[in-house]
Amino acid sequence: MRVLGIETSCDETGVAIFDTERGLVADALYSQIAMHADYGGVVPELASRDHTRKLLPLIQEVLDQANLERRDLDGIAYTAGPGLVGALMVGATTAHGLARALGIPVLGVHHMEGHLLAPMLESEPPAFPFVALLVSGGHTQLVEVRGLGKYRLLGESVDDAAGEAFDKAAKMLGLDYPGGPNVARLAERGDSTRFRFPRPMTDRPGLDFSFSGLKTHTLTTLRKLQSAGQLDEQGKADIARAFEDAVVDTLTIKCRRALDQTGLKRLVIAGGVSANTRLRERLSGEAEKRGARVFYPRGRFCTDNGAMIAYVGAQRLLAGERDDSVMKALPRWSLEGLQPPRTPND
Annotated binding-site members for substrate: 134-138, 167, 180, 276
Mark residue 315 as left, alpha or beta (left: phi above 0; alpha: psi -120 to 50; beta: remaining).
Answer: alpha
Annotated binding site: 111, 115, 134-138, 167, 180, 276, 304
Q: Are strands 266-270 and 140-147 parallel, antiparallel or unpaired?
A: unpaired
166 HSE (CA, 13 A, CB side): 29
Q: The dihedral of CA 136, 137, 142, 146: what is its sign?
A: negative
Backbone angles phi, psi at 122, to 5 degrees: -85, 165
Cis peptide before 82 (omega within 30 of 0): yes
CA distance 178 to 314: 31
**Alpha-carbon separation of residue 257 from 88, 159, 250 (angstroms):** 35, 20, 11
Annotated binding site for Fe cation: 111, 115, 304
Quote the Cα angle for 186-235-233, to 5°: 60
Mark residue 4 as left, alpha or beta (left: phi above 0; alpha: psi -120 to 50; beta: remaining).
Answer: beta
7 HSE (CA, 13 A, CB side): 31
CA distance 132 to 153: 10
Contacts of 207 (CB under 8 A, 6+ apart): 142, 154, 155, 254, 257, 258, 261
